[in-house]
Structure 1
Amino acid sequence: MQGKAASAPHQEAVTRHRTPVMPAALRRFGRRLLHLLAVLVIVSIATFLMLELLPGNLAGSFLHENASAAEVAAIETELGLDKPLAERFLAWAGSALRGNLGQSPVSGESISAAIAERLPVTLQLLLYAQLLSLVIALPLGIIAGYREGSTLDRVISGGALGSLAMPHFVWGILLILLLSIWLDWLPATGYVPFLESPLGNLTSLFLPALTLAMVEAPVYLRLLRSDIASTLQEDYIIVARAKGLSDRQILLRHALRPSSFTLITLMGINIGNLIGGSVIVESLFALPGVGRFLVEGVIRRDFFTVQGVVLVIAVTFVLVNLMVDLAYNLLDPRLSHDSTH
């Protein structure tokens, strides 16, 4: 009886300790989700006001220079530009929530359909670029961090700094000259859908993805190198070495995971840089992606298309950061135990 009585408070204490774990994680996720929704609202307002800040008459930009006032007024009525600003925003936001971004006044095509057709190309390009960046950065960052201060570390860090200093279009031109023109290994332009030919898809996107990766990988490499070097100074690493664990076991089992938290966060933030780079790379390699579509919209002065593309890019960036936040919680369970006070 005394044993049962003694165990009851213990069980109650364990229950009190375990109960808040999941609600705390859910509350943290809820706060993060509300924050991101607020960001989306602000971004949507800023995107809509983007057209209002353009100099001159927006309706007149779709007509010839000598258009009459009656022609401008007719275009304003057709595009709804004669309505109050708040009414136009609510109508546009409501349509956007239903997946309708309107029609291009220049080409007459549905903006949503055009973006949906090109979005898979850009998403594949960004995915391949991230994978190539990690393939380059992980081994070199681990080696440089493990050999901190050595000649090898200085060579790797110096090479990463030099690669980072070169813009995307320079890397693109150099890779086209080397791998496409001189060696004739890969095509310089064109795109093959994945469902049509998986190998052809990888081949057509390898050069553009490598171009992006050559600028992004050095950022990951330098960060991972610094975190690995710092982690290897921790007490539990010294204990692991004292137990006779090999360098490989220490690096991969004990040092890599805690050193990767900052890297994962940076990968989410770096999506913005990848999207910006894709605008240049898609134009350079003639890829039918969203980045090239954005450039074409600017050239044609198709501002409604530009507005829709900017909104989609912003929403994609916010959603990717939400997924990175979830991945961070999975990798570091301690965040689920944080107090919400």
Structure 2
Amino acid sequence: MLNLLLRRLLIAIPTLFIVSVIVFLMQKLMPGDPALIFAGEERDPAVLALLREQYHLNDPLWVQYGYWISDVLHGNLGHSLRTEVPVTTLIAQKLPVTLQLSAAAMVLAILIGIPAGIFAATRKGTGTDYVVNAFGLAGMSIPNFWLGIILILVVAVHLKWLPSGGFVSITEDPVRFLKLIIMPAFVLSTPIAAYLMRHTRSAMIEALRSDYIRTARAKGLRRPAVVLRHGFRNALMPVVTMVTLLFGELMAGAVLTEQIFTIPGFGKLMVDGVFTRDYAVVQGVVLCTAIAFILLNLLADMLYILINPKLRKG
């Protein structure tokens, strides 16, 4: 088990290096000259030359990357061009907002997707199975931004059941948090619940075909015990790893959802940074998102090893 984890960590190191190069080059591909943005409206030639010298903009790309990655390794992601606030401070402020939204969406996705997958698997080939699969296909096909706009129009504007947007931390006001988070969490969870439903259904169908399930039925065990205690426990491995990996997709998918519901989170920070050409913010957000994906992949590997006895023995 330890050797397998070490191999995964060794693979993660060059992956992080490649990601850092891509993130750095992405900033260089963005239109506009950073020195012109730094200089403001006057754009004095002497000031421009000083800024290009200060930020190493006249150096070759590999030299600029060396300076940048050195700062990153020391925890310095630069300062926002608009607010002059350190990017690490902005990320520390916005990331908890997105994590709360993603956690709420994942809870909804698990509560909807896994029971629906089990329900469909136990009724394979019936009309119920087709209906559940149709809802799952719809969940994967409907764009998040469209569903969010429709919910705002129907639930917030016409029915006035919930507020149309905003955010309050769960630690400040739990009731207000639930009112504000339920719509964006539902929008964000819809495709994830559909993926979980399909994977749970496939894993359950495979598990219910196994010999130990037939043995359990032959012993006269009740259907819920056969399905949940024997079938679902053995189908749980791919589902758990899928949940871990999909959490990273939730954080990435929060970009549009936060923009629609005006949630001041990680995704909205990146969108605002792109629109205002705030290069340091965009770099910092993309780099942190990529690192989160890699760490979630490592966590998925660890969970799979802990759940699967064969891998632990190997």
Counterpart position of 2:291: 315
Q: Distance in 1 between matches of 2:31 and 2:154?
A: 44
Counterpart position of 2:73: 97
| Cα deviation code 1:210-237 (max 9, x no counterpart) | 1111121111101111221121111110
Counterpart position of 2:172: 196
Name structure 1 gaps, 5 residues minimum. 1-24
**SS across alignment from 2:78:** coil
Q: Distance in 1 between matches of 2:32 and 2:104?
A: 41
Q: Is the 8 A contact 1:228 1:256 kept in 2?
A: yes
Q: Does 1:209 align with 2:185?
A: yes
Give the superposition deviation at 1:82.
2.9
Give the superposition deviation at 1:36.
1.4
Which of 280, 292, 300 does residue 304 from structure 1 map onto? 280
Tell which deviates more after alignment, 70-79 or 114-123: 70-79
Which of 115, 119, 126 does residue 150 from structure 1 map onto? 126
Counterpart position of 1:81: 57
Counterpart position of 1:219: 195
**5 Å matches for 1:322-333?**
322-333=298-309
Q: Distance in 2 between matches of 1:54 and 1:115?
A: 21
Q: Distance in 1 between matches of 2:237 and 2:112?
A: 18
Give the superposition deviation at 1:62.
4.7
Q: What is the TM-score normalised by the length of structure 1?
A: 0.86
Q: Is the 8 A contact 1:190 1:287 kept in 2?
A: yes
Q: Is the 8 A contact 2:266 2:285 kept in 1?
A: yes
**5 Å matches for 1:171-320?**
171-320=147-296
| Cα deviation code 1:293-334 (max 9, x no counterpart) | 000001101112101110011111111221222111121122
| Cα deviation code 1:146-197 (max 9, x no counterpart) | 1000011011111111222101011112222333233333222111112212
Q: Distance in 2 between matches of 1:300 and 1:38?
A: 32
Tell which deviates more after alignment, 164-173 or 73-82: 73-82
Counterpart position of 2:89: 113
Q: Does 1:33 align with 2:9?
A: yes
| Cα deviation code 1:99-149 (max 9, x no counterpart) | 221112332111110111000001111111111101001111101001000
Q: Is the 8 A contact 1:171 1:214 kept in 2?
A: no
Q: Distance in 1 between matches of 2:117 and 2:127?
A: 14
Counterpart position of 1:17: none
Q: Distance in 2 between matches of 1:190 and 1:57?
A: 34
Q: Distance in 2 between matches of 1:144 and 1:87?
A: 57
Q: Is the 8 A contact 2:248 2:292 kept in 1?
A: no
Q: Is the 8 A contact 1:62 1:106 kept in 2?
A: no
Counterpart position of 2:116: 140
Identity of aligned residues (%): 38
Larger Rg: 1
Count of aligned pairs: 314
Q: Distance in 2 between matches of 1:286 and 1:138?
A: 30
Q: Distance in 2 between matches of 1:126 and 1:40?
A: 23
The 1:217–1:146 alpha-carbon spacing in structure 2 relative to 1, beyond 3 Å, is same
Q: Distance in 1 between matches of 2:38 and 2:124?
A: 59
Q: Distance in 1 between matches of 2:128 and 2:167?
A: 38
Name structure 2 gaps, 5 residues minimum. none
Q: Distance in 1 between matches of 2:173 and 2:83?
A: 30
**SS across alignment from 1:270:** helix
The 1:54–1:178 alpha-carbon spacing in structure 2 relative to 1, beyond 3 Å, is closer
Give the superposition deviation at 1:255.
0.9
**SS across alignment from 1:80:** coil
Give the superposition deviation at 1:94.
2.6
Tell which deviates more after alignment, 41-50 or 131-140: 41-50
Give the AA of the match of 1:330.
L
Q: What is the TM-score normalised by the length of structure 2?
A: 0.93
